[in-house]
Structure 1
Amino acid sequence: MMMQEEPLISVVIPVFNEEPTVGDVIENVKEAVEELRLPHEILVVDDCSTDNSLEISKSKKVKVYRLKRHMGKGYALRLGFEEAKGKIIVTLDSDGSHKPKELPKVLEPILKNEVDLVIGSRFLCKENVFSNKLNKIGVQLFNFLIRILTGKATTDSQSGYRAFKSVILE
């Protein structure tokens, strides 16, 4: 259940036709943030899904927004960021490829004021979360290029599992 005070953490979940997974993802996110015992809110942004994703999301007692037409994940995230009230924003995909139970680990460096941004990695878990090998190879190649350009080691720069201070958006 959402706390009544101003949220510290806003979890933004973009959704497009994720009927099989969105309900479980929302429930798992709710469990993870409630265990933190910090003021929070959960925002689901539906990108004009044509399945029952919107109805499932609404049934979970979280804030739900819907784009008027299919605009893509970037627009869904943008609306979520505009509506988010938290000092820390978390994003994760609604397809089940991220583990909400890892939320405390993702948030810890930000809560300790060690960093401003954390990007979760699909490569650090033992399970294969990539739907095909070509996708995995493409992500690895992109990470290699990011490392060359920035000098920063990253294992999954394109992961949708992120946490960051909301001031970054200002």
Structure 2
Amino acid sequence: MTAQPLLSIVLPAKNEAENLPTFLPKLKALYPDAEILLIDDGSDDDTAQVARAAGAKVVSHPYGMGNGAAIKTGARHARGDILVFMDADGQHDPADIPMVLAKLAEGYDMVVGARLSSSHASWFRRTANRFYNKLASLMTGHKIDDLTSGFRAVRADKFRKFLYLLPNGFSYPTTSTMAFFRSGFPVAYVSIHAGSRIGKSHIRLLHDGLRFFIIILRIGVLFSPMRLFLPISGSIFGVGVAYYAYTYLTENRFTNMSAVLFLSALLIFMIGIVSEQISSLHYKNIE
């Protein structure tokens, strides 16, 4: 008989002592045989002590290194063949774990818990997340239901291939999702309802919203550069043609500005080609 793969549940946490006494017992009751690994990211409260008392294995950072850094630490220390990443603030329901694992068993390498629109507390968050999802779908050519969800199940061997790509901040979901798509590893989504956390969120809407936008563009360049550079190059070339047509009809001459626009379009196109070749190097040994 084939043994069941060991499951590791990785929980990045910072100052979550208030939430853990309610959250961890639910997790233990549902999966008593799973490895529950909490990464204490430089907490100022009793997060580590509370987690140990509840039966979780704890790995502590000496100072706050970021959510992505905690995820990478968890992936390196986890013993399981399958990793489930969840927030430790109580937003993610442990009862949704069987749903993502069942989907993973269908042959996917990553399954993401896509939050329903009602999970976002404000219209701003709903609008921002829809925008990010649409932009990321455009950059990758794949439909992305929830780009920034931290609730996901992955096959450990596949996920560890991309640890060097993951940033230390909150954008690890963005990077890991796009890296899986780029490498041809199948990704699926299941709908979940994320609850309200207790205490203050560590994400700042305006600051982190702008950062997520920049990250999407950066990862888009990493994922498929020509999807970004080709439209920009084409737009500048089109402006150059229009401006040249205008100056030719009105002044019967070719201006320096037209030359600058044409050269800029050519340079951006060439940068896109070079970026495409560099991007492919990140994935040449991925199997």
**TM-score (ref. length: structure 1):** 0.84
Name the SS of the counterpart of 1:94 in structure 2.
coil
Identity level (%): 30
Residue 116 (structure 1) aligned with residue 109 (structure 2):
yes
Partner of 2:57: 63
- Partner Cα separation in structure 1 for residue 18 and residue 123 of structure 2: 23
Deviation at 1:152, TM superposition (A): 2.0
Deviation at 1:7, TM superposition (A): 6.1
Name the SS of the counterpart of 1:14 in structure 2.
strand
Size of the alignment, in residue pairs? 158
Name the SS of the counterpart of 1:152 in structure 2.
coil
Superposed, 1:134-145 pairs within 5 Å as 134-145=124-135
Over aligned residues, Cα RMSD in angstroms?
A: 2.0
Partner of 2:151: 161
Deviation at 1:46, TM superposition (A): 0.6
- Partner Cα separation in structure 1 for residue 10 and residue 138 of structure 2: 30
Deviation at 1:6, TM superposition (A): 9.3
Name the SS of the counterpart of 1:89 in structure 2.
strand
Say which structure is richer in helix. Answer: 2
- Partner Cα separation in structure 2 for residue 16 and residue 129 of structure 1: 22
Q: Is the 8 A contact 1:6 1:85 kept in 2?
A: no
Q: Is the 8 A contact 1:15 1:22 kept in 2?
A: no
Q: Deviations over 1:43-77 (max 9, x none)?
A: 00011111222221111111011101111111111
Deviation at 1:132, TM superposition (A): 3.9
- Partner Cα separation in structure 2 for residue 96 and residue 64 of structure 1: 18
Structure 1: gaps of 5 or more residues: none
Name the SS of the counterpart of 1:155 in structure 2.
coil
Q: Deviations over 1:71-110 (max 9, x none)?
A: 1111111110000111111000011111110100011122
Partner of 1:103: 97
Q: Larger RCO: Structure 1 or Structure 2 (Cα < 8 Å, ≥ 6 residues apart)?
A: 1
- Partner Cα separation in structure 2 for residue 105 and residue 70 of structure 1: 32
- Partner Cα separation in structure 1 for residue 39 and residue 122 of structure 2: 26
- Partner Cα separation in structure 1 for residue 148 and residue 27 of structure 2: 20
**TM-score (ref. length: structure 2):** 0.51
Q: Is the 8 A contact 1:33 1:103 kept in 2?
A: no
Name the SS of the counterpart of 1:107 in structure 2.
helix
Q: Is the 8 A contact 1:16 1:53 kept in 2?
A: yes
Q: Is the 8 A contact 1:147 1:154 kept in 2?
A: yes
Partner of 2:7: 9
Partner of 1:24: 22
